[in-house]
C-alpha cells in the first residue's frame, strides 16, 4: 500500500469510529435535557434519577467523541495537505465557524452542566444542558455544510494561478439544498441512535427489575424517539435520493448497480455482479420503483454506470469515474436494512407495552434489546460509507480527486505508523468505554436517598455534589 | 490594516488564549501526583480542572480551524510538515481527555493509578512539544517550492530537534508547570495549596532561567536587533518575576495574572518576531510562507472577520462566567468517599 491508500484507510477508520459517538452525543444531549425538564416541571424523583443515570452514560460516550474529534480537524492538514491547499479558502470557513460558534458553546456549557448542580440555580442549570445540546446541532450543521460542499460544490471559482477553489458566497455554501437535506437526514439519525440507546438500556433494566419506575417512562421515550425519527429519516432520505440523482447520478447508479441507462428503472433487491464489477449477472428487481425514488416519476429515465462513465470521460478526461459498485450497492442496502430492523423492533415493543403491558417474554427479546443500541450505529456507519465511497474517485465532486489530495511530503511509513497507533488506541478506548458503560448499566440508577434536591451556594467546606 | 494582518493577529490571540488556559491544565495534570498525598487530594486537584479543561482545549481547535480558513497554505505546510510531533500531541490529548473523564468513575486503585500515569505523561508531552514546534516556526525550517509549486516542508523529524527548539520545549514545559502550580495554589486549600506554592517557586526559577536564555537567543537570532521584540521580551521577564514574588508573598491571584500576562506576552513576542511571515524558510526568504502568499481570499477573510468579531467577545464572556461560577477553592475534605468511584455508588450526591 502506498501513502494514498494508507491515508484513505486512516481517514475511514478514524472517521467511522468518531461518528459512532457523535450521533449518540447529539441525540442523548436532547433526551437528557428532556428528562431534566420533566424533573424541573414535575419534581418527580424518577426523572431526576433518569437524568443522572442517562447523563452519566451520555458523558462516558461524549468523552470519546470529543477527543477523537480533534484528530478529524488535524487530519486534513496532516494527511491531506494538497486537498487542504486546494479547498481551504472554501472548506476552512465552515470548519472555523464550527469551532467558534459550536465547540466553545458545547464544551463550556457541558462543563457547567456536569459540575453546576450545586453551583447554579435550577433553572439556569437546566438551561446549560439545552444550550450545550444546541451547540451540538450547530456543530453538525457546519460540518455537514462542509461535507455537502464536497458532494456538490457551489459558490466557488477556480483560481488557475493558485490552483485552488475560492469562495464566492458563504451564504450559498451554508444554505445549499444538499446541506439542508443532509442536516435534516443526519439529525433524526442521531435521535434514532440515541432513542435506541435509551430504549435498549431501559428494557434491560426492566427485565432485570432495576428501578422499573424510572425505566418504564424512559423505555417509552426511547421507543417513540426511534419511531418518530425513523419517519423523519425516511422522508429526508427520499429527498436526499432525489438531490443525489440530480447532482451525483453516478452515486445513484452505483447504489442500484444500474449499469445501463433505463426507463422505468426497477429497484434492485439483490444483484450479483461480475467479479470486476463491470456488469451484473443476476438481479431481483421491483419494476419502476428506482425511477420513482430517484425522480418522483415511475416512468423517468435513470442514467446507468456505463453511460455516465463515458460522459465523465468526455468531461474530465480519461480515467475511471466509477466507484466501487458492490460496496455502494451493499452499504446502501445495509443502511436501510438496519434502520428498518430497529424501527420494527421499536414498533413491536411499543405496541406490546401499550397501556402498561408487559415486555415480550420470549428468549429472543433480551438479546434483541441488548443489540438494539448497536443497530442504528451500523445503519449510520453504512450510510456514511456509502455516501463517501460512492463519490469516489472525487474528493470534491468534479473538482479534485482523492488521489490528488494526499500530502506530498508525508511518507507511507509515517501514515502506516500513525494508523497503527490510532487503531490500537481507539480499540483500547472502545474496550474501556463499553466496559464502563456496562458497569453503569449493571449498577442501575441510584435509588438511595441521594437525590435530595441539590442545594445552592456550596461554601468551601461543604461536600461537592460533583467532583472528578 | 489588511484583513491578512487582522487574521494574523486573531490567530495569535487564539494561541495566546490556548497557552494561557490549557497551559495551566498541562501544569496541573503533570503535577497531579506531586502535590497530593492521598486520593482525596488527587480528586480535589482534578476537580479544579473538571469544569473548564474541555473549553480550554477548544482554543486549540479554533486556532487550527482558523488557520485552515485564513491561511490554508500555512495550515497545509505546517500540519503535513510537523507530522510526527503533531501526531504525538494528538495521541496525548486523546489519552488525557479520556483520563480526566474516566479515572474517578471506577473505584479500583489500580485503575486510577494507571490513569494518573497517563495524565502525567499526556500533560508533559504536549507541554514540551508545543514549545519545540513554535521555536522551530520562529527559527525557520527547511521549506522549498515543490514541483507542483507548493511551499512544502522538506526537513525530517530529527531536523525539528535542534538545540533552540529543545530549549523552547523546556521553556513551555517549565512555564506551564509553574503556571499550573500557581493555578492550583489559587484554587485549592490546605496541603495541596502549600505544595503547589512550593513547586511554583522552585520550577518558576528554572523556568525563568530557561525563558530568559530562550528570549536572549531569539533576539540575537534576528537579522538585526528589533526594539519591539526586545521590549516584549523584557515584559515577559518582568511579569514572570513579579508572578514569582507574588507567589512568595502568598498573593495567588496576582501571581496567576502575572504568569498569564507573561505567557501571553511571550506568545505575542514570537508572533511579532515572525510578522509578516507565518513560517519562514531556512533555505531562503523566497520560500517563506507569509501572510500574503499563504492566505485565503479577501472575501473569505472578510466573512471570517465578521464571525470572529461577533463571536470572540461572546465566548470570552461565557467562558469567563464559567470561571466565575466555579471560583471557589476546592478542598480535599469536600470529596466524599474519595476511594469510591463515581460509578460504584452515587453517594457523592449530597447528603444533608
Encode chain A in three state secondary structure: CCHHHHHHHHHHHHHHHHHHHHHHHHHHHHHHHHHHHHHHHHCCHHHHHHHHHHHHHHHHHHHHHHHHHHHHHHHHHHHCHHHHHHHHHHHHHHHHHHHHHHHHHHHHHHHHHHHCCCCCCHHHHHHHHHHHHHHHHHHHHHHHHHHHHHHCCCCEEEECCCCEEEECCHHHHHHCHHHHHHHHHHHHHHHHHHHHHHHHHHHHHHHCCCCHHHHHHHHHHHHHHHHHHHHHHHHHHHHHHHHHHHHCHHHHHHHHCCCCCEECCCEEEEEEECCCCCCEEEEEEECCHHHHHHHCCCCCEECCHHHHHHHHHHHHCCCCCCCCHHHHHHHHHHHHHHHHHHHHHHHHHHHHCHHHCCCCCCCCHHHHHHHCCHHHHHHHHHHHHHHHHCCCCEEECCCEEHHHCCCCCCCHHHHHHHHHHHHHHHHHHHHHHHHHHHHHHHHCCCCCCCCCCCCCCCCCCCCCCCCC
Ramachandran sector of residue B284 (left: φ over 0; alpha: ψ -120 to 50; beta: rest): left
Distance from CA of B317 to the nearest CA of A (A): 11
Whether A88 sits inside 8 A of B68 (CB atoms) is yes
Q: Which residues form the domain of A68?
A: 3-248+323-443
Are A74 and A212 in the same domain? yes
pLDDT at B191 over 60: yes
Q: How far is B199 from chain A (nearest CA, A)?
A: 23
In whole angstroms, what is the distance from residue B256 CA to residue B244 CA? 9
Q: Does A165 touch chain B (CB under 8 A)?
A: no
| pLDDT for the residue A300 | 85
Distance separating alpha carbons of residues B26 and B174, to the nearest angstrom:
10
Question: Measured between CA atoms, how close is B238 to chain A, in angstroms?
Answer: 32
Contact B343 A119 (CB under 8 A): no
Closest Cβ opposite residue A409 in set B81, B312, B335: B81
Mean of all residue pLDDT scores within chain A: 92
Q: Say whether pLDDT at A396 is over 50.
A: yes
**Out of A97-101, A323-327, B47-51, B221-225, least confident range:** B221-225
| Cα–Cα distance measured from residue B96 to residue B86, given in angstroms and rounded to the nearest whole number | 15
Tell me the three state secondary structure of residue B164. helix
Give residue-wise pLDDT tens across range A307-344: 999 999 999 999 999 999 999 999 999 999 999 999 99
The total of structural domains in chain A comes to 2
The nearest alpha carbon in chain B to A68 belongs to B94
Residues A239 and A262 in one domain: no
Kindly list the residues from chain A whose CB atom is less than 8 angstroms away from the CB atom of residue B346.
52, 446, 448, 450
pLDDT over 80 (residue A450): no
Share of chain A above pLDDT 90, in %: 81
Residue B188 phi/psi, 5-degree rounding, is: -125, 175
Note whether A235 and A331 are same-domain residues: yes
pLDDT at B347 over 70: no
* Model confidence at A270: pLDDT above 80: no
Nearest to A70 among B61, B84, B334 (CB): B61
Q: Do B347 and A107 touch (CB under 8 A)?
A: no
Q: Distance from A73 to chain B by nearest Cα, in Å?
A: 7
pLDDT at B49 over 90: yes
Instruction: Specify which of A203-207, A354-358, B346-350 reaches the highest per-range mean pLDDT.
Output: A203-207
pTM of the model: 0.94
Query: Does B335 have pLDDT greater than 90?
Result: no
Cell of B299: 472575501
Give bridge partners of residue B153 from the DSSP assignment: B143
pLDDT (mean) for B124-128: 98
Contacts of A95 in chain B (CB under 8 A): 65, 68-69
Q: Span B204-218, mean pLDDT? A: 97
In the prediction, which pLDDT does A274 show?
A: 65
Spatial neighbors of A248 by CB under 8 A, at least 6 apart, are A151, A152, A390, A391, A397
Mean pLDDT of B148-176: 95
> pLDDT at residue A432 above 60?
yes
Cβ pair B307:A76 closer than 8 A = no
Q: What is the pLDDT of residue A289?
A: 82
Map residue B151 onto helix, strand or coil: strand
Inspect the interface and report whether the beta carbons of B334 and A84 lie closer than 8 Å.
no
Closest CA to A452 of A441, A463, A437: A463
Residue B351 has pLDDT above 60, yes or no: no
User: Given a cut of 70, is residue A19 above it in pLDDT?
Assistant: yes
- Cα-based distances in Å from A154 to A22, B98, B239: 27, 38, 50
State yes or no: pLDDT of A457 exceeds 50.
no
Do A331 and A259 share a structural domain?
Answer: no
Interface contact A103-B101, CB threshold 8 A: no
Whether residues A409 and A263 share a domain: the answer is no
CA B72 from centroid of its chain's CA atoms? 22
In this structure, the answer to whether residues A260 and A394 fall within a common structural domain is no
- Read off the pLDDT band of B98 (50, 70, 90): very high
Decide if A456 is inside a domain.
Answer: no
Q: Which residues contact A38 (CB under 8 A, 6 or more apart)?
A: A44, A47, A50
Long-range contacts of B313-319 (CB under 8 A, 24+ apart): B315/A100, B315/A104, B315/A108, B318/A104, B318/A105, B318/A108, B318/A109, B319/A104, B319/A108, B319/B55
Q: Which residue of B has its CA nearest to A83?
A: B76
pLDDT at A459: 44
- Evaluate whether residue A136 is within a structural domain: yes
User: What value does the mean pLDDT take over residues B240-269?
Assistant: 97
Does B345 have pLDDT greater than 50? no
**pLDDT number for residue A286:** 83
Comparing A113-127, A203-217, A423-437, A438-452, which segment has the lowest mean pLDDT? A438-452
Model ipTM? 0.93
Q: How far is CA A84 from CA A140, B49, B148, B271, B339, in A?
A: 20, 34, 14, 23, 48
Q: Three-state SS for B59?
A: helix
Residue A449, pLDDT > 80, answer: no
Of A80-94, B61-75, B145-159, least confident by mean pLDDT is B145-159
Q: Which residues of A touch B334 (CB under 8 A)?
A: 460-464, 467
Longest dimension (CA), chain B: 72
Facing residue for B102 by CB, picked from A166, A170, A436? A436
Angstrom distance (rounded) from CA A213 to CA A198: 15
- Same domain flag for A112 and A255: no
User: What mean pLDDT do residues A125-138 have?
Assistant: 97
Same domain (yes/no): A257, A288:
yes
Whether residue A65 is found in the same domain as residue A11: yes
Sign of CA dihedral B79, B80, B82, B84: positive
Point out the domain boundary residue: A259, A292, A322.
Answer: A322
Q: What span, in angstroms and rounded, lies between the C-alpha atoms of B67 and A85?
A: 12
Q: How far is CA B125 from the centre of its chain?
A: 11
- Write out chain B residues lying below 8 Å of A166, CB-based: 296-297, 299-300
Residues A226, A379, A232, A94: what is their CA dihedral angle, to the nearest 10 degrees?
120
Task: Judge if A242 and A375 occupy the same domain.
Answer: yes
Task: Find the closest chain A residue to B102 by CA distance.
Answer: A60
A439 to B343: CB separation less than 8 angstroms, yes or no? yes
Predicted confidence band of residue B156 (pLDDT cuts 50, 70, 90): confident
Cβ partners under 8 Å of residue A96, min gap 6: B62, B65, B66, B68, B69, B70, B304, B307
Q: What is the reported pLDDT for A458?
A: 42
Q: Answer whether B145 touches A (CB < 8 Å).
A: no
Q: Is A460 part of a structural domain of the chain?
A: no
Domain end, chosen from A275, A294, A322, is at A322
Cα distance between residue B13 and residue A307, in whole Å: 53
pLDDT at A454: 44
CA–CA separation, B27 vs B255, rounded Å?
A: 15
Which one of A85, A115, A440 has the shortest CB-CB distance to B72? A85
Mean pLDDT of chain B: 93
- As a whole number of Å, the end-to-end CA separation of chain A is 44
Which residue of A88, A98, A429, A444 to mutate against B (max B Cβ within 10 Å)? A88
CA distance, residue A354 to nearest chain B CA (Å): 32
Query: Is A468 inside any structural domain?
Result: no
Interface of A with B in 44-103 (CB under 8 A): 52, 56, 59-60, 63-64, 66-71, 73-74, 76-79, 81-82, 84-85, 87-93, 95-101, 103
Lowest mean pLDDT across A96-105, A340-349, B89-98, B221-230:
B221-230
The pLDDT tens digits for A337-391 are 999 999 999 999 999 998 888 898 888 999 999 999 999 999 999 999 999 999 9
Please tell me whether residues A390 and A276 are part of one structural domain.
no
pLDDT, position A279: 67
Q: Does the pLDDT at position A461 exceed 70?
A: no
Would you call A163 an interface residue with chain B, using a CB distance cutoff of 8 Å?
yes
Q: What is the mean pLDDT of residues B146-171?
A: 94
Q: Tens of pLDDT along B6-33?
A: 999 999 999 999 999 999 999 999 999 9
Confidence tier at B106 by pLDDT (50, 70, 90): confident
Q: pLDDT category, B338, cuts 50, 70, 90?
A: confident
Residue A240 lies in a domain: yes
A462 falls in which pLDDT band (50, 70, 90)? Answer: low
C-alpha closest to that of B6 among B314, B306, B310, B315 = B306
Identity of the residue in B84, B105, B325 whose CB atom sits nearest the CB atom of A112:
B325
Interface of B with A in 317-336 (CB under 8 A): 318-319, 322, 325-326, 328-331, 333-336
Residues A310 and A367 in one domain: no
User: What torsion, rounded to 10 degrees, do the Cα atoms A83, A63, B324, A121 define?
Assistant: 130
Q: Distance (Å) from the C-alpha of residue B202 to the closest C-alpha of chain A? A: 28
Residues of chain A with Cβ-Cβ distance to B352 below 8 Å are 452, 455
Cα of A201 vs its chain's centroid, Å: 20
CA pair distance A360, B45, nearest whole angstrom: 49
Which residue of chain A is at minimal alpha-carbon distance from B46? Answer: A468
Handedness of CA B36, B38, B41, B42 (dihedral sign): positive
Bridge partners (DSSP) of residue A165 are A158
- Assess whether pLDDT exceeds 80 at residue A272: no
pLDDT on residue A455: 43
Minimal CA separation from B155 to chain A, in Å: 10
Residue to test with chain B: of A64, A72, A93, A145, most B Cβ within 10 A: A93
Closest residue by Cα to residue A16 from A380, A402, A339, A417: A380
Would the pLDDT of B110 be above 50?
A: yes
According to DSSP, the residues that pair with B289 across neighbouring strands are: B279
Q: Does a structural domain hold residue A200?
A: yes
Amino acid at each position: 500500500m502506498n501513502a494514498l491508500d494508507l491515508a484513505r484507510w486512516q481517514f475511514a477508520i478514524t472517521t467511522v469510529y468518531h461518528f459512532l459517538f457523535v450521533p449518540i452525543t447529539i441525540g442523548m444531549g436532547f433526551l437528557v435535557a428532556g428528562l431534566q425538564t420533566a424533573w424541573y416541571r414535575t419534581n418527580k424523583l424518577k426523572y431526576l434519577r433518569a437524568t443522572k443515570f442517562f447523563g452519566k452514560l451520555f458523558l462516558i460516550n461524549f468523552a470519546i467523541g470529543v477527543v477523537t474529534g480533534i484528530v478529524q480537524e488535524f487530519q486534513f492538514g496532516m494527511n491531506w495537505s494538497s486537498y487542504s491547499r486546494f479547498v481551504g479558502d472554501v472548506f476552512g470557513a465552515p470548519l472555523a465557524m464550527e469551532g467558534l460558534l459550536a465547540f466553545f458553546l458545547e464544551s463550556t456549557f457541558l462543563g457547567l452542566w456536569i459540575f453546576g448542580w450545586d453551583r447554579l440555580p435550577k433553572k439556569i442549570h437546566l438551561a446549560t444542558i439545552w444550550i450545550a445540546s444546541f451547540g451540538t446541532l450547530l456543530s453538525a450543521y457546519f460540518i455537514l455544510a462542509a461535507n455537502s460542499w464536497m458532494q456538490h460544490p457551489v459558490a466557488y471559482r477556480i483560481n488557475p494561478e493558485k490552483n485552488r477553489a475560492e469562495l464566492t458566497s458563504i451564504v450559498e455554501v451554508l444554505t445549499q439544498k444538499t446541506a439542508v437535506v443532509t442536516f435534516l437526514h443526519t439529525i433524526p439519525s442521531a435521535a434514532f441512535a440515541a432513542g435506541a440507546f435509551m430504549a435498549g438500556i431501559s428494557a434491560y433494566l426492566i427485565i432485570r427489575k432495576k428501578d422499573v419506575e424510572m425505566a418504564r417512562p424512559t423505555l417509552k421515550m426511547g421507543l417513540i424517539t426511534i419511531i418518530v425519527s425513523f419517519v423523519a429519516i425516511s422522508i429526508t432520505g427520499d429527498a436526499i435520493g432525489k438531490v443525489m440523482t440530480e447532482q451525483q447520478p453516478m452515486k445513484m447508479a452505483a447504489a442500484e448497480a444500474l449499469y445501463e441507462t433505463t426507463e422505468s428503472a426497477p429497484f434492485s433487491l439483490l444483484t450479483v455482479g461480475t467479479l470486476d464489477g463491470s456488469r451484473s449477472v443476476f438481479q431481483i428487481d421491483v419494476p419502476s420503483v428506482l425511477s420513482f425514488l430517484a425522480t418522483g416519476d415511475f416512468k423517468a429515465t435513470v442514467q446507468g454506470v456505463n453511460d455516465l462513465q463515458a460522459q465523465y470521460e468526455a468531461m474530465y478526461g480519461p480515467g475511471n469515474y466509477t466507484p466501487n459498485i458492490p460496496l455502494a450497492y451493499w452499504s446502501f442496502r445495509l443502511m436501510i436494512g438496519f434502520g428498518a430492523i430497529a424501527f420494527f423492533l421499536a414498533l413491536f415493543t411499543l405496541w406490546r407495552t401499550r397501556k402498561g403491558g408487559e415486555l415480550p417474554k420470549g428468549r429472543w427479546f433480551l438479546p434483541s434489546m441488548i443489540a438494539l443500541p448497536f443497530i442504528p450505529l451500523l445503519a449510520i456507519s453504512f450510510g456514511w460509507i456509502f455516501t463517501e465511497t460512492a463519490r469516489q474517485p472525487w474528493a470534491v465532486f468534479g473538482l479534485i480527486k482523492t488521489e490528488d489530495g494526499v500530502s506530498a511530503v508525508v511518507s507511507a511509513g509515517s501514515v502506516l505508523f500513525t494508523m497503527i497507533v490510532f487503531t490500537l488506541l481507539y480499540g483500547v478506548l472502545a474496550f474501556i468505554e463499553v466496559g464502563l458503560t456496562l458497569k453503569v448499566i449493571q449498577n442501575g440508577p441510584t435509588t438511595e436517598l441521594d437525590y435530595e434536591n441539590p442545594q445552592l451556594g456550596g461554601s468551601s467546606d461543604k461536600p461537592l455534589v460533583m467532583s472528578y | 490594516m489588511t484583513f491578512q494582518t487582522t487574521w494574523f493577529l486573531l490567530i495569535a490571540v487564539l494561541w495566546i488564549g490556548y497557552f494561557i488556559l490549557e497551559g495551566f491544565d498541562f501544569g496541573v495534570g503533570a503535577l497531579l501526583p506531586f502535590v497530593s498525598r492521598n486520593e482525596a487530594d488527587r480528586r480535589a486537584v482534578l476537580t479544579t480542572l473538571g469544569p473548564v479543561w474541555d473549553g480550554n482545549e477548544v482554543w486549540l481547535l479554533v486556532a487550527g480551524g482558523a488557520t485552515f480558513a485564513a491561511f490554508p497554505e500555512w495550515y497545509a505546510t505546517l500540519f503535513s510538515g510537523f507530522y510526527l510531533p503533531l501526531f504525538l500531541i494528538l495521541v496525548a490529548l486523546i489519552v488525557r481527555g479520556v483520563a480526566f473523564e474516566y479515572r474517578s468513575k471506577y473505584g479500583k486503585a489500580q485503575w486510577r493509578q494507571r490513569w494518573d500515569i497517563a495524565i502525567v505523561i499526556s500533560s508533559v508531552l504536549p507541554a514540551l512539544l508545543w514549545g519545540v514546534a513554535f521555536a522551530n516556526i520562529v527559527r525557520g525550517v527547511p521549506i522549498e517550492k515543490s514541483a507542483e509549486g507548493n511551499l512544502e516542508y522538506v526537513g525530517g523529524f530529527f531536523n525539528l530537534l535542534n538545540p533552540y527548539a529543545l530549549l523552547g520545549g523546556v521553556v513551555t514545559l517549565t512555564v506551564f508547570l509553574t503556571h499550573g502550580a500557581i493555578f492550583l495554589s489559587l484554587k485549592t486549600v490546605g496541603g495541596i495549596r502549600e505544595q503547589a506554592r512550593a513547586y511554583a517557586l522552585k520550577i518558576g526559577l528554572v523556568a525563568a532561567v530557561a525563558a530568559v536564555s530562550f528570549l536572549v537567543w531569539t533576539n540575537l537570532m534576528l537579522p538585526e536587533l528589533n526594539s519591539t521584540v526586545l521590549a516584549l521580551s523584557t515584559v515577559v521577564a518582568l511579569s514572570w518575576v513579579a508572578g514569582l514574588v507574588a507567589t512568595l508573598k502568598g498573593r495567588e491571584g496576582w501571581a496567576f495574572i502575572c504568569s498569564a500576562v507573561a505567557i501571553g506576552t511571550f506568545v505575542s513576542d514570537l508572533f511579532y518576531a515572525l510578522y509578516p511571515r507565518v513560517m519562514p524558510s531556512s533555505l531562503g526568504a523566497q520560500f517563506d510562507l507569509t501572510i500574503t502568499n499563504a492566505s485565503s481570499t479577501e472575501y473569505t477573510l472578510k466573512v471570517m472577520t465578521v464571525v470572529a468579531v461577533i463571536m470572540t467577545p461572546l465566548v470570552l464572556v461565557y467562558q469567563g462566567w464559567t470561571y466565575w461560577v466555579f471560583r471557589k477553592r476546592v478542598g480535599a475534605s469536600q470529596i466524599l468517599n474519595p476511594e469510591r468511584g463515581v460509578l460504584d455508588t452515587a453517594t457523592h450526591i449530597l447528603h444533608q
